[in-house]
Structure 1
Amino acid sequence: MKIGIDKIGFATSHLYVDMAELAMARNEEPNKYLIGLGQQKMAVIPPSQDIVTMACTAAEKILTSEDKNKIGLVVFGTESGIDNSKSAAMYLVDLLGLQENLRAFEIKQACYGATAGIAMARGYLDLHPDKKVLVIGADIARYGLKTSGEATQGGGAIALLMSSDPAILALEPKTAYYARNVMDFWRPLGHTEALVEGKYSAKIYLDFFKRVYLNYLQQTNLSLGDFSAFIFHLPYTKMGLKALRTIISDTEPEIADNLKEQFEASREYNRNVGNLYTGSLYLSLLSLLQNSSSLTAGQRIGLFSYGSGAQGEFFTGILQDSFEDFVNNDHVSTMLAKRHQVSVTDYEHIYRQSLKNKDELIIDYKSDRAPFVLTGIKNSQRQYLRQ
């Protein structure tokens, strides 16, 4: 029995800031952001959007009534939790109108949360092959204005529909993982912005990738030539390129050139949205599928997931015959092209507004035409609206 990704949905804000303009406002050379980080645009998340609204929008784009009736498990991966107790999954189940006889919960391990959800989905579908699982990766990356991490912010949501008859990617059974307690990135209780040791985190990322990739090769006896593409967790897209370079430096030029070409396709969406935390790896998968011109059914894709603190995993999937039907969908590229650019000043104003955390709050959502919006907080309870 095959288990894997049947559908992928994506949502982000209708607003963005240009990275070259942000660089100039911070007295930086634009190429430091454009080339040094590999970022062109950064999603700006207004107060009317949060992880729930974006997750609902991403999921609603792909779910049919039949899908909703078959979902028996919902796993919401995030590190941007909106409540210390209540799961964001419960809001999502209600807003999407899913059946109530299911399991739904939230899971956290930095940017690894959605991958942990996939692992749970595999176990569930093995026992319930007639069901489907909805895995969410939704986050808003915040490091603060005028900080060293500001240029690696962003936000959005990925929705993965998992099934025992996947149309896009069938996951192979073997996987390699590695966990170690490190302090490269964290957000203490009460903090709205993350703390990060940037250079140390990049070093740990590369170390974990090398460990799990080599472990996977040892388990499977595969070699670099058995892969058609590699995709990575991308806090910024240059990070994935650094990881790729560690494994292609000594290989045949033809293989190296192909893998670099596929990587460029896989980072197109990420470089125009920014950091999605838990959804980053899967936005990269979506970008690869819709921007590569040379993928074919039966090819093997390698996926590296990383969550600071830290957890790493390397696993693989085989492209299915019907994946090309998904490739021809231009909804994401059209959505990104229709976003509105905001000035750096407006971005800073929106950012400060979004940090408000009050027991009572009224949000002006009229200019936000997203299908789901946050309208405010009443009696410490978040108020959502399906438009």
Structure 2
Amino acid sequence: MKIGIDKMAFATTSEYIDLAELAKVRGVDPNKYLIGIGQSEQAVLPPTQDIVTLGAAAADKLLNERDRERIATVIVATESGIDNSKASAIYIKRLLNLDDYVRTVEVKEACYSATAAIQFARGQVALEPEKAVLVIAADVARYGLKTAGEVTQGAGAVAMLITAEPRILAIERTSVAYSQDVMDFWRPLYATEAMVDGKYSTNVYTDFFKHTLSRYEKLTDRKLDDFAAIAFHLPFTKMGKKALEAVLDERDDQTAWRLRKALLASQNYSRRVGNLYTGSLYLGLMSLLQNDPDLKAGERIGLFSYGSGAEGEFYSGILQPGYQEQLSNVAGDLSERQLISIAAYEQQFNDQLGMNKADVEYDVSADPARFVLAGQKNHQRQYVDKQQL
């Protein structure tokens, strides 16, 4: 029985900034951002949005009535949790009007946990093939204004339906997970911004990729030649390039050309949105599938997942016929966003609810999204479906 990703959808904010403009305001050479980091645009999170509203928006794009009836579990993977106890999946389940006989949980391990959620989902579907599991990778990457990490911020969510007989990617049995206690990136409970050792983290990422790929090759007797493409976790687009070149080692044959071309296709959307933490690998996968016209059903795609702290996993899947029809229109959504000024971005950054204890009420009328965060009352976040107002 095949088990894997049946549908995928992406949601982000309605506003963005131009990173060339940010570079000018910060007194930095724009090429440091555009070429050195590999980012050109960045999603801006209004105070009326968070992982719950973004996750619900992504899931709402892919669910039909049949999907809703067979969902057994909702798993939200995030490192941007909005409560230390209550799972964000419960809020999302309510906004989506899913049945109360649905399991709802939240999982965490930096940017890696969406991959763990998919593997958990595969196990449930194997036991109950008639059921589906909704996996949502939702995050807000936040480092602070005028910091070294500012250019690698972002926000968004990728929703995936994991089923038997999937229509996008049938996940193969062999996967390799690898973990070590590493302090390359973390966010203490008292902080709203992450702490990161950028160069160290890049080196750890590359090492984990080489470790997991090498063991995968030994377990399966497969080589790079067996992959049509490899999708990478992309906190910034240059990260995937560093990892791929570390294993290609100046190869200039047909396989190297194919994998480099596929990497460029996978970077397209991340370059325009920014860092999605848990969702970065899967936005990269969507970008690959929608921007590489040479991919064909039956071909093998490799996936490298990484979360600082640190955990990595390499696994693979086989593309299914008609996979393009099961993806939301990411390019269309990005083209509808509104460009805002750096001053407006800075204001929105500072207006986030964060760790505020006070009651807060936001004006949601300016937010075009269906699902919004209306504020906080009695220490409880107030989520609203504007279609029900």
- Output the TM-score relative to the length of structure 1: 0.98
Among all aligned residue pairs of Structure 1 and Structure 2, give the percentage whose two residues are the same amino acid: 53
The answer to whether the Cα contact below 8 Å between 2:6 and 2:326 also exists between their aligned partners in 1 is: no
Corresponding letter in the other structure for 2:47: P
Figure out how many residues of one structure are paired with residues of the other and give that number: 385
Corresponding letter in the other structure for 2:268: E
| Partner residue, 1:58 | 58
Corresponding letter in the other structure for 2:19: M
Q: C-alpha distance in 2, partners of 1:199/1:332?
A: 31
The answer to whether the Cα contact below 8 Å between 2:267 and 2:288 also exists between their aligned partners in 1 is: yes
Kindly report which structure 2 residues correspond to 1:171-190, keeping only aligned pairs within 5 A, or say none.
171-190=171-190
Q: C-alpha distance in 1, partners of 2:199/2:104?
A: 36
| Partner residue, 2:352 | 354
Corresponding letter in the other structure for 1:361: V
| Partner residue, 2:383 | 384
| Partner residue, 1:271 | 271
Q: CA deviation at 1:165?
A: 1.2
Which digits, 9 at most, give the CA deviation of each residue in 1:122-150, with x for residues without a partner? 11111010000000100000000111101
Q: C-alpha distance in 1, partners of 2:373/2:165?
A: 35
The answer to whether the Cα contact below 8 Å between 2:138 and 2:156 also exists between their aligned partners in 1 is: yes
Corresponding letter in the other structure for 1:169: L
Q: CA deviation at 1:24?
A: 1.0
| Partner residue, 1:345 | 343
* SS of residue paired to 1:136: strand
Q: C-alpha distance in 1, partners of 2:298/2:333?
A: 29
* SS of residue paired to 1:267: helix
Q: C-alpha distance in 2, partners of 1:371/1:32?
A: 36
The answer to whether the Cα contact below 8 Å between 2:112 and 2:307 also exists between their aligned partners in 1 is: yes
Kindly report which structure 2 residues correspond to 1:31-46, keeping only aligned pairs within 5 A, or say none.
31-46=31-46
* SS of residue paired to 1:171: strand
Corresponding letter in the other structure for 2:100: E
Which digits, 9 at most, give the CA deviation of each residue in 1:347-384, with x for residues without a partner? 11110001542331101211111110011111111111
The answer to whether the Cα contact below 8 Å between 2:265 and 2:288 also exists between their aligned partners in 1 is: yes
Q: Which runs of 5+ in 1 are unaligned?
A: none
* SS of residue paired to 2:36: coil
* SS of residue paired to 1:269: helix
Q: CA deviation at 1:250?
A: 4.7
Kindly report which structure 2 residues correspond to 1:228-239, keeping only aligned pairs within 5 A, or say none.
228-239=228-239
Corresponding letter in the other structure for 1:336: L
The root-mean-square deviation of aligned C-alpha atoms, in Å, is 1.0
The answer to whether the Cα contact below 8 Å between 1:359 and 1:381 also exists between their aligned partners in 2 is: no
| Partner residue, 1:167 | 167
Q: C-alpha distance in 2, partners of 1:175/1:235?
A: 22
Q: C-alpha distance in 2, partners of 1:210/1:247?
A: 7
Q: CA deviation at 1:113?
A: 1.3
- Output the TM-score relative to the length of structure 2: 0.97
| Partner residue, 1:335 | 333
